[in-house]
Amino acid sequence: MLPRVKHYPISVELYHIMAERGTFAPDDRVELIDGEIIEMSPIGSRHARVVDFLNDFLARRIDANYIVRIQNPIVVGDLSEPQPDIAVVARREDFYRDGHPTGKDVALVIEVCDST
């Protein structure tokens, strides 16, 4: 019988501290999901094309009270800071200068999937 491995989730706060202290290389593509640091897949040309198309489509159609964010973090609770391909969030004068949008700010999230 294999021993049980205890899981210690990482909070968004600790994730930020780790990033500030250089735990991740500048070119590392990681995000925090349910307390786990997950390596993100590389972005292929088909994936990028769909994200660009959706960005253009949404930016022309959304209300002026919202903005379209591309592959930028949103905070979802204490244990997740995903970087969705598209997030439509409430417009703020400071454009989230002091922190990423949270669940209450988010109107729409889109994650583009591409199989090869």
pTM of the model: 0.86
Q: Where are the beta strands (DSSP E) in 56-105?
A: 66-70, 86-90
Residue 89 pairs in a beta bridge with: 67, 106
Residue 7, burial from CB neighbour count under 10 angstroms (0-12, 13-18, 19+):
exposed
Write the CB contacts of 4 (distance below 8 Å, at least 6 apart in sequence): none
Q: What is the pLDDT along the chain (116 residues), one digit of tens a residue?
A: 778 888 899 999 999 999 999 999 989 999 999 999 999 988 999 999 999 999 999 999 999 999 999 999 999 999 999 999 999 999 999 999 999 999 999 999 999 998 75
**Is the distance from CB of 110 to CB of 83 less than 8 angstroms?**
no
Domains of the chain, first to last: 12-110 (3.90.1570.10)
